[in-house]
Amino acid sequence: MTRRSFPMSKVYGLLEPGPVVLLTTSHKAIANVMTMSWHTMMEFEPPLVGCIVSQNNFSFTALKVTRQCVLNVPTTELASKVVGCGNTSGRRVDKFEAFGLTPVPAAMVAPPLIAECYANLECRVVDTRLMNRYDFFVLEVIKAWVDPARKDPRTLHHRGRGAFMVAGNTIRLPSNMK
Amino acid sequence: MTRRSFPMSKVYGLLEPGPVVLLTTSHKAIANVMTMSWHTMMEFEPPLVGCIVSQNNFSFTALKVTRQCVLNVPTTELASKVVGCGNTSGRRVDKFEAFGLTPVPAAMVAPPLIAECYANLECRVVDTRLMNRYDFFVLEVIKAWVDPARKDPRTLHHRGRGAFMVAGNTIRLPSNMK
């Protein structure tokens, strides 16, 4: 795929519809992947993203210590890999190898991009005030990449217990909302 | 429609896929509606929801002062009303009247449910530590209602500038993820 730099001002449109993302971290030379659905935009520019990474997840310590991650947005072709990453722990499994995901070096952070994902957001942690109480991190997106050929990507949206809504058609309405 | 009480333990499945919601507040005897896409689940049970309500929105003061709201989940039939609520301000417009939305008394909070929405979550504000810096509120869902007849609701998912992805089909995969 072609991967192009993507403007910060448009990042919100990638995460606002609520896609499952694959969060990559890198700690002590081990890169890991976590499936995550609990995230929200918090600011347009620079783009801020709030997300929950549970203390039970192997990624928690990596994110807490290194303060870096990448949010990779998969589409429906990757559904089985997304579930595979959600069903396993980086404590025991090299998920890149186990699920055939290809790490690609990022520009600004240590964790890798996932080549198979149509968008990749390089992030740093900017606020941990709600980390101890809620496992909530505030991320700033510092570099974004997207495959410009994918106009209406068929993202996955978790409904719980293995049920995923697949993105349907996009409609356009006369809106003043950003 | 039939409106049934919905178990707290399943609330996350309503918000996790990222639907646009209509947030209702009530302050000084004025009920208002705001269109909102920036929210995330934060805990399963009791269900906690983090959301951004900008200080620029009329709803901000109502939420800050009364610490109560309802998250109403609309489906695609309501798209024009959702955009209408997003294009106008409660400072000048009675949105229930302007867009033909029907207020229904809630069980636990003062703001009304919206009758036309397939799910309604009565909430109280439980944490405002990130309110001043990010306009971020942590809500606890204290009562949930859903139309049990709607299995795969065609929710709306904002992609920015009037573009909404409409929920597509739901697929089911063997997942251990809650």
ipTM score assigned to the predicted complex: 0.96
Mean pLDDT, chain A, rounded, equals: 96
Helix (H) or strand (E) holding B171: strand B163-172
Residues of chain B positioned with their CB less than 8 A from the CB of A178: 160-161
B173 Cβ contact partners less than 8 Å away, ≥ 6 residues apart: A79, A80, A83, A162, A164
Whether B56 has its CB under 8 Å from any CB of chain A: the answer is no
Contacts of A10 in chain B (CB under 8 A): 160
CA distance, residue A115 to nearest chain B CA (Å): 23
Per-residue confidence (pLDDT) for residue A2, from 0 to 100: 78
**What is the amino acid identity at position A65?**
V
Q: How many CB atoms lie within 10 A of CB B87?
A: 15
CB pair distance less than 8 Å for A168 and B163:
no
Residue A165 pLDDT > 90: yes
- Residue A1 scores a pLDDT above 80: no
Average pLDDT, chain B: 96
Place of tokens 């004025």: B30
Task: Look at B165 and A162 and tell me if their CB atoms are within 8 Å.
Answer: no
**A171 backbone dihedrals φ, ψ, rounded to 5°:** -110, 155
The helix or strand, by DSSP H or E, that contains position B12, with its residue range, turns out to be helix B12-15
Q: How many Å lie between the alpha carbon of B120 and the closest alpha carbon of chain A?
A: 17
Query: Would you say residue A175 has pLDDT above 90?
Result: no
Q: Is the whole-model pTM more than 0.95? A: yes
Q: What is the mean pLDDT of residues B54-81?
A: 97
Residue from B158, B166, B172, B176 to probe the interface with A (highest A Cβ count within 10 Å) = B158
- Kindly report, residue by residue over B104-160, the tens digit of the pLDDT: 999 999 999 999 999 999 999 999 999 999 999 999 999 999 998 888 899 999 999
Q: Which of A127, A155, A177 sits opposite B87 (nearest CB)?
A: A177
Give the Cβ contact number of residue A115 at 10 Å. 13
In this structure, are residues A51 and A139 in contact, taking their beta carbons and an 8 Å threshold? yes
